[in-house]
Amino acid sequence: MGNLWIALVLGVVFGFLLNKAGLTHYYKIVNVFRLTDMAVLKFMMSGLAVAMVGLYAMRGLGWIEFPAIPATYIVGNLVGGLIFGVGMALAGYCPGTCVAGAGEGRLDYLIPGILGFIAGAAAFGLTYESVFPQISRLAAYGNVTLGQLWNVNSWLLVTVFALMSLILFYLIDHGLIRKDPMAVTK
């Protein structure tokens, strides 16, 4: 299947970029939560802004159709995010950065990290039927976009997001960032 070659190539570029952005380091992930190194936020928001503009433009031109929009069910999305943040601040990685970090020779990512993900995946799959249907029914809005939900033009939202990102980047790069109390020892 040609599609799998695409997955392989895109995966390689994805892992490459995670490494070059420094996100395969424990300190880069944790320090975004300490508000002393905002590389993770800059990486995520620039990626989002570029992809948003490109996707909505390509759809506007009729070149692509959107895949299924990830479902919104407020309680589950939020609670999942809340638990996720704890794991990320503890371990210093998320699923993608753990795999990319394993590739650069980090054995703590490759062995206990990946085994942890497999264990968590098994636990989720085995408890899925008693957990997921309930939580995904709470405050559920289905596969909608913000534009559909609020009934506003998506381009307005894309523009607002891009502008917000630029302002935030400017502020971060011009002093709106905490001094790292550990910087002396680094």
Partner 1 sequence: MNRIRQLFAQELWSPYLAGGLLGVVGLLAVGLSNHLLGASGGFENLAGILGKAVAPASFNNVYFNYVMPAEITWNVILLVGIFFGGMLAALTAGTLRWRSMPDKQWTEVFGSSRAKRWGIAFLGGAVLQYAAGIAGGCTSGLAISGGMLLAPAAFLFIAGMFASGILTAWVIYRARY
Residues 73-132 that bind partner 1 (CB under 8 A): 73-74, 76-109, 111-126, 128-129, 131-132
Closest CA to 21 of 89, 80, 104: 104
Minimum distance of partner 1 from residue 62's CB (angstroms): 12
Q: Does 167 bind partner 1 (CB under 8 A)?
A: no
- Residue 164 interacts with partner 1 (CB under 8 A): yes or no: no
Per CB under 8 A, does 60 bind partner 1? no
Q: Tell me which of 61, 70, 175, 179 binds partner 1, using CB under 8 A.
A: 70
Query: How far is the CA of 39 from the CAs of 23, 59, 150, 174, in angstroms?
Result: 8, 30, 31, 14
- Tell me the pairing of strands 72-73 and 140-142: antiparallel
Considering the complex, state which of residue 175 and residue 181 has its C-beta at the smaller distance from partner 1. Answer: 181
Helix axes 39-60, 26-33, angle to 10 degrees: 90
Residues within window 4-43 making contact with partner 1, judged by CB under 8 A = 4, 6-22, 24-27, 30-35, 39-40, 42-43
Q: How many CA atoms lie within 13 A of 160 on its CB side?
A: 8
**124: region left, alpha or beta (phi > 0 left; psi from -120 to 50 alpha):** alpha
Query: Which of 137, 141, 153, 177 lies at the binding interface for partner 1 (CB under 8 A)?
Result: 141
- Residue 34 makes CB contacts below 8 A (sequence gap 6+) with 178, 180
Our finding on whether 162 is near partner 1 (CB under 8 A) is: no
Binding of partner 1 at residue 177 (CB under 8 A)? no
| Residues contacting partner 1: total by CB under 8 A | 127
